[in-house]
C-alpha cells in the first residue's frame, strides 16, 4: 500500500472519529434526498440552499424540493421503467418518494403531488433533522465548501459556481444543450415500409428510413405548422443554433426547408421503387442494444400530445411508441462519462461528488434517485468499503450506466429512465408485454440480491 493510500485511509478514519461534516450544495430533489439519507446514516450534514436570499429564474419560493415544471413523478405502473425505478427507490428508503405519496393528488396511473404540500413536507423534515444544518449562503466557488462535498445544483446553477466548475473540469465539462429529438422503441417501427440504409450506401445500413411522397409530405408540413407549441419560459428564450433548429422553425422558413435539411431524400433509394422518395425521415440507433432509435434532426417544441399525433403520420411510424419525446430547453449538465468516476465523484477530486440533473439525468424522480445513490457511494467511501453500485439489471443500475458509460462520452445526452436503458433479455421475446414483465422480474431479483 502506498503512502498516499495510507494517508487517505487515515483521513477516512479521522472523519469518523471527529464527526466532520458533509457539505451538500443545493436543496432540490437530489440534494434533499442525499442530505436526508446521509443524516440518517449518522453523518453531520451542512445543506446549502441559496434561494432564501438569491432566487433562480424558475423557482417561486425558498422551500426545498420545489417542483417547477410539473407536479408529477411519472408512471406508477409496476410494469414500466418509471414504475420499477420507484419500486427500487422505495426498497432503499427514499424520503422524497415517501413525501410524494403523502402529498399525492389524483393523477391516474401517475404519481402527482400537491406542490406546496410536498415541498413543505420536505422542508420541514430537513429543517427539523438533528444532523442537518441549513445555510443560505450562496456557494460561488468549490473552495467555499470543505470536502467531502456533493454538488446538486441542477441546470440553473449559480453563474459564479458554474464558471468555477468550468475551470475545475475544463472548457468542455458543461454543455448548454437545447435540442432533444424524440426516441422511438425499435420494435414499433414498421419495417415493411421503413428500410435500413445509409446515404449513397456509404456505410453499414445503420439508419431506418421512412419515406414520404409529395402529398404525404405537404400534409405533414401543414400539421407541423398548425400543431400546438410549448413556448419557452422567459429565462429560456435564446436564439436557436442552426445545428439544432426546431423543425417548426424550419417550416416557418418555407415549406420545402425540411426537404433540404433533415428530411433530404437524396442518396436513399426506396427498395420498393428503386428511386429516392420525395422526402425521408431518418432514424438513428440510440443505444448499444439497438432497441431505441432517435428521429434525426427532429428537435421540436410541439406539445407532447401533438408530437405523437403528427409523427405517427410518418409512413413506417403509424404505431410508433415513444420512449422520449422531443423538446427544446436550456440545460446545463456535466459530460459525466468523461468527467466523473463511476461513483459520480470528479475525476479531478475524488471527494467532490455530483447528484441530480447536473449529472445528465432527466426527470424529477431520476434526479432524486441519483441523490439517493450518491449518498450510498459516499458512505461506502468513507467507510473504506469497495465501490458497490446497484446491479446493471436494475433500473437504478441502468440509469447509472447511462450517465457513466464512457462509450457515450462523445455524444452524451441527458436521459430519463426507459426500457432502452435496461440490458436486453438473453433470449429475444417478441411479445412486448411479456418482454417488459421479464425485464422487471430480472431487475427486482437483482435489486433484492444487492440489498442483502
Which residues line the annotated binding site for FAD?
A: 26-31
Q: Which of 39, 28, 33 is nearest to 379 (CA)?
A: 39
Pairing of strands 132-135, 322-324: unpaired
Size of the chain in residues: 452
Q: Tell me, what DSSP letter sits at residue 361?
A: B
What is the Cα–Cα distance from 150 to 356, expressed in whole angstroms?
A: 10
What is the Cα–Cα distance from 434 to 421, expressed in whole angstroms?
A: 17
In degrees, to the nearest 5, what angle opens at C-alpha 328 toward C-alphas 24 and 326?
105
Measured CA distances, 162 to 136, 137, 330, 332 (Å): 18, 16, 14, 9
Find all residues with CB under 8 Å of 355, minimum gap 6, and list them.
30, 31, 34, 150, 151, 152, 344, 367, 370, 371, 373, 374
**Could you tell me if 1 and 384 are in contact, meaning their C-beta atoms sit under 8 angstroms apart?**
no
Determine the distance from the C-alpha atom of residue 387 to the mean position of all C-alpha atoms in its chain, rounded to a whole number: 23
H/E stretch holding 370 reads helix 364-382
Under DSSP, is residue 80 helix (H, G, I), strand (E, B) or coil? coil
Annotated binding site: 26-31
Cell of 306: 401533438
Q: Which of 23, 31, 33, 155 is nearest to 165 (CA)?
A: 155
Under DSSP, is residue 292 helix (H, G, I), strand (E, B) or coil? strand
Considering only CA atoms, give the Rg of the chain: 23
Under DSSP, is residue 154 helix (H, G, I), strand (E, B) or coil? helix
**Could you tell me if 352 and 359 are in contact, meaning their C-beta atoms sit under 8 angstroms apart?**
no
Can you spell out the DSSP letters for 195-260? EEE-GGG-SSS-EEEEEE-HHHHHHHHHHHHHS-B-PPPGGG--PPPGGG--HHHHHHT-TTTGGG
Pairing of strands 322-324, 183-185: antiparallel
H/E stretch holding 40 reads helix 29-40
Pairing of strands 44-48, 132-135: parallel
Amino acid at each position: 500500500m502506498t503512502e498516499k493510500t495510507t494517508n487517505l485511509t487515515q483521513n477516512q478514519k479521522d472523519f469518523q472519529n471527529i464527526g466532520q461534516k458533509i457539505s451538500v450544495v443545493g436543496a432540490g430533489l437530489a440534494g434533499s434526498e442525499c442530505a436526508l439519507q446521509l443524516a440518517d446514516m449518522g453523518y453531520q450534514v451542512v445543506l446549502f440552499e441559496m434561494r432564501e436570499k438569491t432566487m433562480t429564474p424558475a423557482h417561486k419560493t425558498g422551500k426545498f424540493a420545489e417542483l417547477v415544471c410539473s407536479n408529477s413523478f411519472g408512471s406508477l405502473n409496476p410494469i414500466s421503467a418509471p414504475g420499477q425505478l420507484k419500486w427500487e427507490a422505495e426498497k432503499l428508503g427514499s424520503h422524497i418518494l415517501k413525501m410524494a405519496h403523502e402529498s399525492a393528488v389524483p393523477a391516474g396511473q401517475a404519481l402527482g403531488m400537491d406542490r406546496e404540500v410536498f415541498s413543505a413536507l420536505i422542508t420541514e423534515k430537513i429543517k427539523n433533522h438533528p444532523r442537518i444544518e441549513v445555510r443560505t449562503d450562496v456557494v460561488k466557488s468549490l473552495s467555499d465548501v470543505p470536502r467531502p462535498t456533493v454538488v446538486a445544483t441542477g441546470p440553473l446553477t449559480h453563474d459564479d459556481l458554474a464558471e468555477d466548475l468550468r475551470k475545475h473540469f475544463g472548457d468542455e465539462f458543461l454543455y448548454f444543450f437545447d435540442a432533444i429529438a424524440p426516441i422511438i422503441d425499435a420494435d414499433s417501427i414498421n419495417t415493411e415500409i421503413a428500410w435500413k440504409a445509409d446515404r449513397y450506401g456509404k456505410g453499414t445500413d445503420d439508419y431506418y428510413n421512412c419515406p414520404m411522397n409529395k402529398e404525404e409530405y405537404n400534409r405533414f408540413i401543414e400539421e407541423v405548422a398548425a400543431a400546438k407549441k410549448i413556448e419557452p419560459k422567459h429565462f429560456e428564450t435564446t436564439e436557436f443554433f442552426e445545428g439544432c433548429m426546431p423543425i417548426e422553425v424550419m417550416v416557418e422558413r418555407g415549406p420545402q426547408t425540411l426537404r433540404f435539411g433533415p428530411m433530404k431524400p437524396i442518396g436513399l433509394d426506396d427498395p420498393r421503387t428503386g428511386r429516392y422518395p420525395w422526402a425521408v425521415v431518418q432514424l438513428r440507433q440510440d443505444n448499444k442494444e439497438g432497441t431505441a432509435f432517435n428521429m434525426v434532426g427532429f428537435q421540436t417544441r410541439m406539445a407532447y400530445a401533438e408530437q405523437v399525433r403528427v409523427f405517427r403520420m410518418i409512413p413506417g411510424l403509424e404505431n410508433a411508441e415513444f420512449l422520449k419525446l422531443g423538446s427544446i430547453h436550456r440545460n446545463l449538465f456535466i459530460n459525466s462519462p468523461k468527467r466523473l468516476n463511476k461513483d459520480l465523484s470528479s475525476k479531478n477530486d475524488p471527494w467532490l461528488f455530483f447528484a441530480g440533473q447536473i449529472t445528465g439525468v432527466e426527470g424529477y424522480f431520476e434526479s432524486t434517485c441519483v441523490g439517493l445513490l450518491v449518498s450510498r457511494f459516499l458512505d461506502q467511501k468513507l467507510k473504506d468499503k469497495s465501490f458497490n453500485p446497484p446491479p446493471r439489471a436494475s433500473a437504478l443500475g441502468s440509469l447509472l450506466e447511462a450517465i457513466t458509460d464512457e462509450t457515450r462520452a462523445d455524444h452524451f445526452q441527458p436521459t430519463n429512465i426507459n426500457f432502452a436503458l435496461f440490458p436486453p433479455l438473453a433470449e429475444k421475446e417478441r411479445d412486448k408485454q411479456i418482454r417488459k414483465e421479464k425485464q422487471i422480474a430480472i431487475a427486482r431479483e437483482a435489486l433484492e440480491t444487492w440489498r442483502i
